[in-house]
Amino acid sequence: MKKRILIVEDDTFLRELYAELLEGEGYEVVTASDGSQGLIRMREGGWDLTLLDIMLPVFDGFQLMKMVKDVPPEKPLGPVVYLTNLSDEDSRDKGMEQGSREYWVKSQLTPGLMLQKVKAALIDYK
Amino acid sequence: MSILNQLNFDIVLLFFVIGVNTLLAFFVFQNNPRSSTNRVFGMLSFVTSFWLFTMYVSSRGVDIYNQLLWMRLSIFFAVPQAVLFYFLAKTLPSGKLEMKETPLILIFTATIFVMALTLSPLVFADMVIINGSPAPLIGPAISIFSITVVVFSFLALFTLVRKISSSRGIARQQLKFVFYGMITMLGLIIATILIPVAVFNNSFFVSFAPLYTFIFLGATAYAIVRHRLLDIRTLVARSVAYTIFVIIIGLAYSGSIVLASQYFLGYSIGMSNVMLLTIVTLIVAYSYNPLLRKVEKFTDRIFYKDRYDSHELLRKVGKVASSTLELEELAELIIVIMLRSMKISTGHLVLVKQHQVIWQFGTDHHQKLKHPIQDKDVFELIQGAIHRRGDNILLVDEMAEGSLKTLMKEYKISVLYPLQVEKKTIGMMYFSEKLNGEIFSTEDIHMFNIISSEIAVAIKNSLQYEEIKKFNITLKQQVEEATRDLRHANQQLKALDKMKDDFVSVASHELRTPMTAIKSYLWMAMAGKGGKISDKLKFYLGRAYTSTDRLIKLVNDMLNISRIESGRITIELDKVDLVALTQEIIDEIKPRVDELKLTIKLNKKTDEGSQVDHVLADPDKIKEVIFNLIGNSLKFTDPGGIIEVSFKKEGTHIITFVKDDGRGIDESDMETLFTKFGMLPGSYATNKKASGTGLGLYISKSIIEIQKGKMGVSSEGVGKGSTFWFSLPVFMPSDKKRISADKNDKLGIIHSGF
């Protein structure tokens, strides 16, 4: 069965790039471009991996995580990785507190590295 | 009495001069017995009276034997007269005889000797009749007498000349008149009496002696009247008035006795009786005032303790001046002390600044008084005092009639003097009359002179203190105001700083997102995701990719610096194994190192061969630093080069060395290396592998320093490689407590490659 990956990312170019990259590897990719769409998708649950941006329109990544934690979806949400450009410690620590497993800094990842990390994460959090 | 019968001009002049002389001697001496000038002047006048008398008698002698005696007596008195002239000159104008004991004793002995000599036959041997008139027969010692008199007279004149040239103002005027009088008198005496008698045996001019003396007395009197010498002007004035008064009483008394006896009693009293009664009356009248004053002085001594010790007064004022800086307290204390000591009824102090009266204070012995003087009058009085010749004291008794005197009388001011500090007038002090009705003496005026400057300085200090006090209050207010402003500014700055941080955060995020997109798409293209590309195109894309990467790093570094500089960087100290950490990094970058055909060596033991101690540091931050140093070495080392990481323990620190055999650094460039944007000129342009922001070393050094370490570089020179090093404190068991227990798992810290 295809692994289902949710990408919540407001930047169209990046969103489409990640989608293309991961689909190219044979994953089922669903995207959301802002906080409200992301919330809807996250409430569906059952994702093998969620790549969640932090700075998003409507609700930011932290708020989304909190809302999903307060009202858990029927199916388990699955592992969430913050995928962001907010690289400072405060954001990272906050991200960890909110229950995300990892905190990836987009600008520090090449698409190749990103793919490796996704693969590793899918194996780790299976 | 044959002398008294010859009532001619000679005798009238003689007795007038002797009378004035004796009176003057008495008054001057009485006025200030402590002053040497007054004492010498008194003695001089006294001796002169004797001299004049004996000289007169000698020239009108009854018989030859008596005439010889009178002649001898006249020169007997001439000796101390000359010596006293010299002493008088010496004491002017200070009132002190400034002479040492030895010359004084010498002069005294010589005077006695010459005086004794004059009575012996050695000077005047005998009297002989020459041309029908008696003349003295000169003895061999006449020259000693003459020389003594001439020498002392010239010494007196010489001293006066010297003092005139060294003094100024009123003292100079006084000395001048005394000098004129003295030189005229001495010159005439020597020229017309001494020389004719001694050389030509001619005593024709002897009877003119009183006239000569009168010239001196006249000059001295003029100096007194005009320039207040010896401070007896008021006394003389009073005495003249008193004498006239006594004469009127005497005439009225004798007249009324004669008339009353003739018309009422019917018989006439003998003229001798009237004369006798009148003389007795005059004596009683004339002695009334001095007697009364003596009695008053005696009672004053009991009730007022009239005399004051000037030193004591000065000491008290000085003590008060140093005891307080409060203006009102100071003024009151000083005035009260002066009133008590000098027996004055009231005293006032007025302070001025520029052309305004700023403060007035007055008191008698018990309470504060009103200060009635109008501002414009204050300035008129001060100006009057300042522009007075000589000293600056206005004494109402001694002033000529005029607006100033009227003004002083109007305000009942007896004495007034300005307060001056360094020639700047700060105010004035004035006093009413003395409690016992006496006039102010020389001593009092002298005291005012001394005290005025002392008070002026004390008042000035006090004023400055008041100003400082006022200034302090304003300063405090200003500081409070400034603090408020600063607090406000600080709040604004804090808000601004937060805005700046937020801005940097947001901006860097917003910048990084499109840059990440560029970088990622370039990577996709280069990775052949969109189909095969030519090598040339791949080369172009590669450069675009590197540049984008550099931009991203720049933004990251700027964000880091902003955090370090604002002190918001969080350091999480932990026990760090440097060897393991370095190994981790080397493993991570191995593909890149291989690609560049370089070798990295890691010495897992220290130079001494022992284990490398763990250090106390933030592992993430240290990893960044080591990454940065190794990354720099990679950039500046040519293929085939070796990079070596080693450790050394030095005291309580472990030093990490990152050594390469790359292009090295010139010594002059080492300082700029660790500064912001401290890239060496041309370092990147000449090296295509080298891409950096110029911020790496600056950030690394800052990070190391925050963790109580140091960082530096050494190089043998350009082309000989370089060694970067940093030190970190060794981990101590006691550090354990400092490390926070609640550590989250640190996962997925991903660094960009090289």
Which one-letter amino acid corresponds to residue B1? M
Longest dimension (CA), chain B: 176
pLDDT band for B120, please (50, 70, 90 cuts). Answer: confident
CB-nearest partner of B515 from A87, A107, A113: A107
pLDDT score of B744: 38
pLDDT, average across residues B610-618: 86
**Separation in Å, CA B675 to CA B202, B655, B689, B696, B713:** 115, 21, 22, 10, 13
- The tens digit of pLDDT for each residue in B662-685 reads 877 877 777 778 877 766 655 544
Query: Do the Cβ atoms of A106 and B748 come closer than 8 Å?
Result: no
3-state secondary structure of B309: coil
Instruction: Kindly tell me if the per-residue pLDDT of A54 is higher than 60.
Output: yes
Q: How many angstroms separate the CA atoms of B58 and B68, rounded?
A: 7
pLDDT band for B235, please (50, 70, 90 cuts). Answer: low
pLDDT score of B170: 62
pLDDT, average across residues B296-301: 67
- B26-59 in b/e form (b: 16+ CB < 10 A) is ebbbebbeebbbbbbbbbbbbbbbbbbbbbbbbb
Instruction: Kindly tell me if the per-residue pLDDT of B184 is higher than 50.
Output: yes
Which residues does chain A have within 8 Å of residue B555's beta carbon, measured at their own beta carbons?
107
CB proximity A11 to B under 8 Å: yes
Q: How many angstroms separate the CA atoms of B73 and B96, rounded?
A: 30
State both tokens at B270. Answer: 């003998």
pLDDT, average across residues B337-341: 86
Rg for chain A, CA atoms, rounded: 13
Q: How many angstroms separate the CA atoms of B205 and B187, rounded?
A: 13
CB-nearest partner of B750 from A86, A96, A105: A105
- The tens digit of pLDDT for each residue in A62-118 reads 888 888 888 888 888 888 888 887 655 556 566 565 556 677 888 778 888 889 989
If you search the block for the tokens 């010889």, which residue do you land on?
Answer: B68
pLDDT, average across residues B277-287: 71
Best residue of B498, B512, B518, B520 to probe chain A, by most A CBs closer than 10 Å: B520
Which one-letter amino acid corresponds to residue B73? L
Query: Do the Cβ atoms of B593 and B640 come closer than 8 Å?
Result: no
3-state helix, strand, coil in chain A (%, to 5): 45, 20, 35
Q: How many angstroms separate the CA atoms of B49 and B205, rounded?
A: 18
If phi over 0 gives left and psi between -120 and 50 gives alpha, with beta otherwise, what is residue B717?
left
Which residues does chain B have within 8 Å of residue A101's beta carbon, measured at their own beta carbons?
747-748
Task: Let me know if A8 is exposed, middle or buried by CB neighbors in 10 A (0-12, 13-18, 19+).
Answer: buried
pLDDT score of B152: 86
pLDDT score of B238: 61
Continuous segment of H or E residues that includes residue B39? helix B36-59
- A92-123 in b/e form (b: 16+ CB < 10 A) is bebbbebebbbbbbbbbbbbeebbebbeebee
pLDDT score of B371: 67
- B288-313 in b/e form (b: 16+ CB < 10 A) is eeeeeeeeeeeebeeeeebebebeeb
Under an 8 A CB cutoff, do B517 and A17 touch?
A: yes
What share of chain B in percent tops pLDDT 90?
Answer: 5
State both tokens at A22. Answer: 């991961």
B605-609, B652-656, B686-690: range with lowest mean pLDDT: B686-690
- The tens digit of pLDDT for each residue in B504-528 reads 777 777 788 888 899 999 999 998 8
In this structure, what are the phi and psi dihedrals at residue B362, rounded to the nearest 5 degrees? Answer: -140, 150
If you search the block for the tokens 């008054």, which residue do you land on?
Answer: B27
- Per-position DSSP letters for B398-412, written without gaps between them: GPPSSHHHHHHHHTT
Helical axes B170-188 vs B142-166, angle rounded to 10°: 160
Task: Let me know if B415 is exposed, middle or buried by CB neighbors in 10 A (0-12, 13-18, 19+).
Answer: buried
pLDDT score of B132: 63
pLDDT score of A8: 94
pLDDT, average across residues B242-268: 71
3-state secondary structure of B141: coil
Nearest-Cα distance to chain B for A108, in Å, is: 5
ipTM above 0.85, yes or no: no
Instruction: Kindly tell me if the per-residue pLDDT of B232 is higher than 60.
Output: no
pLDDT score of B657: 92
Nearest CA-CA partner of A78 in A49, A120, A110: A49
pLDDT, average across residues A38-57: 89
Residues 491-530, chain B: which have Cβ within 8 Å of A?
505, 508-509, 512-517, 519-521, 523-524, 527, 529
Which residues does chain B have within 8 Å of residue A16's beta carbon, measured at their own beta carbons?
none
- Per-position DSSP letters for B632-694, written without gaps between them: HHHHH--TT-EEEEEEEEETTEEEEEEEE-SS---GGGHHHHTSTT-PPTTTTTT-TT----S
pLDDT score of B742: 38
pLDDT score of B306: 52
CB-nearest partner of A17 from B520, B748, B750: B520
pLDDT score of B688: 44
pLDDT band for B747, please (50, 70, 90 cuts). Answer: very low
Q: How many angstroms separate the CA atoms of B153 and B82, rounded?
A: 5
- The tens digit of pLDDT for each residue in B409-453 reads 888 888 898 888 888 888 889 998 887 667 777 778 888 888 888
CB pairs under 8 A between A and B: 79
- The tens digit of pLDDT for each residue in B43-77 reads 888 888 888 888 777 776 556 677 778 878 888 88
- The tens digit of pLDDT for each residue in B139-168 reads 777 788 888 888 888 888 888 888 877 776
Q: What mean pLDDT is reported for chain B?
A: 78
If phi over 0 gives left and psi between -120 and 50 gives alpha, with beta otherwise, what is residue B100?
beta
pLDDT score of A7: 94
State both tokens at B594. Answer: 């291989």
Give the CA angle between residues B676, B679, B683 to the nearest 5°: 175
Query: Do the Cβ atoms of A49 and A5 come closer than 8 Å?
Result: yes
CB-nearest partner of A14 from B509, B513, B744: B513
Instruction: Kindly tell me if the per-residue pLDDT of B231 is higher than 60.
Output: no
Residues 83-102, chain A: which have Cβ within 8 Å of B?
84-90, 93, 96-97, 101-102
Instruction: Kindly tell me if the per-residue pLDDT of B390 is higher than 80.
Output: no
CB proximity B752 to A under 8 Å: yes
pLDDT score of B741: 42
pLDDT score of B751: 29
Residue of A nearest to B744 (CA): A96
Instruction: Tell me which of A8 and B401 has the higher pLDDT.
Output: A8
pLDDT, average across residues B275-292: 72
pLDDT score of A99: 58
Nearest CA-CA partner of B736 in B636, B638, B627, B614: B614
pLDDT score of B102: 86
- The tens digit of pLDDT for each residue in B523-571 reads 999 988 888 889 999 999 988 998 888 888 888 888 778 777 777 777 7
| Bridge-based pairing state of the strands A4-8 and A28-32 | parallel
Instruction: Kindly tell me if the per-residue pLDDT of B267 is higher than 50.
Output: yes
Q: How many angstroms separate the CA atoms of B76 and B700, rounded?
A: 113
Under an 8 A CB cutoff, do B505 and A86 touch?
A: yes
pLDDT score of A6: 94
pLDDT score of B745: 36
Best residue of A15, A81, A107 to probe chain B, by most B CBs closer than 10 Å: A107
The upper half-sphere exposure of residue A101, i.e. CA atoms within 13 Å in the direction of its Cβ, equals 17
Which residues does chain A have within 8 Å of residue B745's beta carbon, measured at their own beta carbons?
96
Which one-letter amino acid corresponds to residue B360? Q
Residue of A nearest to B556 (CA): A87
pLDDT band for A18, please (50, 70, 90 cuts). Answer: very high
